[in-house]
Amino acid sequence: TWAQVPQGPPDPILGVTEAFRADRDPCKMNLGVGAYRDNDGKPYVLSCVRKAEKRLLDKSMDKEYLGITGHPGFVQRASKLAYGADSPALAESRVAATQSISGTGALRIGGEFLSRYYPYAKKIYLPTPSWGNHTPIFRDSGLEVGQYRYFDKTTNGLNIDGMLEDLQNLPANSIVLMHACAHNPTGVDPTAEQWDQISQVIKDRDHFCFFDMAYQGFASGNVDRDAQAVRQFVSRGHYVALSQSFAKNMGLYGERVGTFSLVCQSTEEMKAVESQLKILIRPLYSNPPLNGARIVNQVLSDSTLYSEWLSEVKGMADRIISMRTALKDHLVNDFGSQHNWDHITNQIGMFCYTGLKPDQVEKLTKEHHVYLTKDGRISIAGISSRNVEYLAQSIHAVTK
């Protein structure tokens, strides 16, 4: 029966973890998937999360189904975190929102919704490059996928002119996806001034902006600063969609907790959108899981846990920044690499887009047991002070 089923390729990101697990070398490093590790290279559960879990356990709560759109307290607090406590759109009850199966689930809900109800187009434009999962998510949602210029290989920075030109030339009312902060995979974000220019072109061309915010707090260490682009767009009258994830900033990877939201023009519109989100979600998975939403709700609603969380996010962001500096220092000062490695410290968030070529990536994995995605992206969050020198030595060896 299944003889005609072709063998598929491994996932470009999660497949790297599978290969890493099969490697027996003690020096092996997994810099593929974006998952934070502490300075001993161990998975890190935030202490605010441990405390929230303990409180929840002490309450002996039930395990009833959530509603289709999830935990109301969680959704409300998560939306405040994203749009800002003083957001007029929230105050005016015109943000449709639902809990989602983390960022991927939020993007899929958004893709499905746009594919059914966006009146002007059935195509979404992604930055080049973008997170590898964006294309299949939107294609499976029934949208065509296009691209706009983003990364400049010659500077390892943003190609702002190419980006603005492409956005200007797209058909009016196009759907464009933007990374709210800590762009994955490049670690290159627009400056506040560049966001202004982007916002203006999007406004002029009546484009619709779908923000993917998977790293709030990870770019700068400050959750408000990292939400600036989203908030700025909303305050300028853009009716944005937003995918929000708590995988990285609360370390809740396997709990799969996030939200999808859409800023509407009126409460009436918001109600109709929410009714359609329910209709779309019910046949997908009925209703979302309970535990992660309860944890986030607990952390966001208790001022002590909330401040503890803010300092833990900053701690993670700072450790990543210190690993960037250490990696560059080792490459340049200890191993005397002649290449320019400034982008390691200029880029932000979990990832560095190293500029390594596919054959160098392959060598790094085969000869040095360093696992990374084929595009040369490394997860800085996977480096520790114990192996940063080994990594620098290995990168130097394949780039000499």
- Among 329, 280, 274, 316, residue whose Cα is nearest residue 105: 280
* Closest distance of CB 34 from ligand LMR, Å: 3
The amino acid sitting at 84 is G
Gap between the Cα atoms of 340 and 198, Å rounded: 29
| Torsion angle, alpha carbons of 199, 243, 312, 20, to 10 | -110
- Residues between 4 and 33 that touch ligand LMR (CB under 6 A): 13, 33
Query: Toward ligand LMR, which CB reaches closer, 131 or 246?
Result: 131
Instruction: Dig out the tokens for 315 from the structure.
Output: 């701690």
CB of 154 to ligand LMR, least distance (A): 24
Shortest Cβ 19–ligand LMR spacing (Å): 14
**Of 20, 31, 34, 71, which one interacts with ligand LMR (CB under 6 A)?**
34
Residues 119-148 binding ligand LMR (CB under 6 A) are 131, 133
| Number of shown-chain residues binding ligand LMR (CB under 6 A) | 6
Q: Are residues 49 and 252 in contact, defined by beta-carbon separation less than 8 angstroms?
A: yes
Q: What token pair was written down for 157?
A: 């920075």
Name the residue whose CB lies closest to ligand LMR. Answer: 34
Least CB distance to ligand LMR at residue 15 (A): 10
The residues near 24 (Cβ < 8 Å, ≥ 6 apart) are: none
Q: Which one-letter DSSP state was computed for residue 254?
A: G
Verify binding: residue 353, ligand LMR, rule CB under 6 A: no
User: Active-site residue 248, yes or no?
Assistant: yes
Min separation Cβ 298 and ligand LMR, Å: 24
CA of 263: how far to CAs of 39, 76, 241, 271, in Å?
A: 39, 14, 6, 11
**Closer to ligand LMR by Cβ: residue 48 or 182:** 182
Least Cα distance to 374 among 357, 396, 393 occurs for 357
Site string for ligand LMR, 174-203 (x = CB under 6 A): ----------x-------------------
Residues tagged active-site:
131, 212, 248
- List interacting residues with ligand LMR (CB under 6 A): 13, 33-34, 131, 133, 184
